[in-house]
Amino acid sequence: MPIEATPPAAVARTTATFLLLALAAGCSPSSADSEGGQPTAADTASSAAAPPLVRVEPVELREVRRLIETTGYLESEHRVTILPEVGGRVVEVLIDEGDRVEKGQVLAKLDDREARSALRQAEVQLADRKVRLELMEVEKSSTVRRIEQARIERDKAKAQHQRNQEIDSGLIAAKELEDGLFALQTAEEALQVAQLDAKKAELEISAAANAIDELEARVDSENLRVAQHEIRAPFEGVIEERMIRGGETISAATELFAIIDDENLVCYLRRPQRELAMIRTAREVAFTTDAVPGRRFHATIDVISPVINAETGSFRLRVRVSKEDDDAELLRPGMFVRAEIVTEEQREALMVPKAAILNEGTRAVVFAVRDGVATRVVLKPGLEERDHVENLDRGESGLGPDDVVVVSGQAGLRDNTAVEIAPE
């Protein structure tokens, strides 16, 4: 069969149709990529212009006090282990652990029969010496009278001898003169003997008085020895521990009781030497203990150690617990306490969240958001708390009480960068 030729007009229409289909196929991938694939240049430029998203918190202008937080244990200011002054057998124990005792109260008794016997012997000897002294004083009185009598006799003999000498030698016999002289000499000798007897009596009385003083001292010593057989409390307090039961024989080195003063409580705290200057001006201390929940107690700094421990670089301070607080009588030695030492009185401070602070070498900086722009501010730190730091610079270059600071998203921020604050 003969083949019919295609008209030229039909060929032209077919070619145009294929060109349109090809153009449509070429444009479709590009459009798909822009919708679900790689971003276009216009999209990238739009994304770079968006400000970074940050979270902010306000600074706080409030009253603060500088505190040092530490821990320790309550202790009794006085704790004594009682030992006997003499040995012996324990015949009676009068108190038990936990008992409150007064100063000088008898806690236990030792067998004191031997000591009392020695005391009685000394007392008898003392009484005997005192009787002897009385007899010597009577003897001394008689010697005084004998001296007076001998002096009278001597004076009479002397007067007679002088009269004999005044008589004319022809009128008086020589023997009478000799007898008068002899009588005078005898009277003077009798006076001297009486005076010597008196001196002897004085010496004997002095010796007897010394012997009495010695015996009185011995009686005092024996009384003390008897008293040492009674174990007494050295101060008012509570018996912490009793080491004897009664009936045993003890020596002077045996521990009998441990007594504590439960009313005068102290706490020893150790702090690093960098805090010494602050604590020197501190006076108020407050503390809590789990043993008395819900209560806050107070104390005062009593002693600050004058030396620093070379090994630890720390010093020790002693605080004295106040007796004026409610429920202070519930405190006991050995309780664990959490203490706060107030080193600076209450004052107004501008506090910045620690989460906002960036460290740049030795400086600390924050970004304050003002009118949508993050401004870099260098901090001048002061008082530090657990979650905040004081900023001492409240001038034009610092922070004000109305500022907010970036606490999240500040990494990589530059000064005077526009930011968007995330909603809370």
- Give one DSSP letter per residue of 322-362, joined into a string: -S-STTGGG--TT-EEEEEEEEEEEEEEEEEEGGG-EEETT
Angle, helix 174-227 to helix 113-166, in steps of 10 degrees: 170
List per-block mean pLDDT (blocks of 10 residues) for the chain, which spans 424 residues.
38 37 39 44 53 92 85 93 95 94 96 95 94 88 87 87 77 77 87 88 90 94 95 94 93 95 93 89 89 94 92 93 91 94 83 92 92 92 85 85 92 89 85
pLDDT (0 to 100) of residue 34: 41
Pairing of strands 53-58, 420-421: parallel
pLDDT value at residue 48: 55
Strand (E) positions, 77-129? 79-82, 88-93, 100-101, 106-110
DSSP 245-314: -SS-EE-TT---EEEE-SSSEEEEEEEEGGGHHHHHT--EEEEE-TTSTT--EEEEEEEE-SS--TTT-E
CA distance 102 to 93: 16
Residue 137, both tokens: 């004083």
pLDDT of residue 49: 60
Report the pLDDT value the prediction gives residue 29, as an integer from 0 to 100: 40
Note whether 238 and 298 are within 8 A (CB): no
CB-based contact 409:55 (threshold 8 Å): yes
Residue 57 has φ and ψ, to the nearest 5°, of -140, 150
Q: Identify which of 423, 419, 375, 371 has the alpha carbon closest to the alpha carbon of residue 397.
A: 375
Distance CA(190)–CA(197), nearest Å, equals 11
Reference 356, options 381, 336, 322, 328; nearest CA is: 381
Say what the pLDDT of residue 33 is: 43
